[in-house]
Amino acid sequence: MDVDYQVIGGRIRKAREDKGVTQERLAECLDVSNAYISKIERGKTAVNLDNLDKICAALDTSIEYILSGTNTTADDHLRNEIIEMLEGCSPEKMKLITQIIKSIVEY
| pLDDT tens, residue by residue, 38-92 | 999 999 999 999 999 999 999 999 898 899 887 666 566 677 778 888 888 899 9
Distance between CA atoms of 79 and 82, rounded to whole angstroms? Answer: 5
Q: Which CATH class is domain 1-72?
A: mainly alpha
Is residue 10 a contact partner of residue 41, using CB atoms and an 8 Å limit?
A: yes
Residues 66 and 25: beta-carbon distance below 8 Å = no
Burial-class residue 55 by CB neighbours within 10 Å (0-12, 13-18, 19+).
buried
User: Is the pTM value of this prediction over 0.75?
Assistant: no
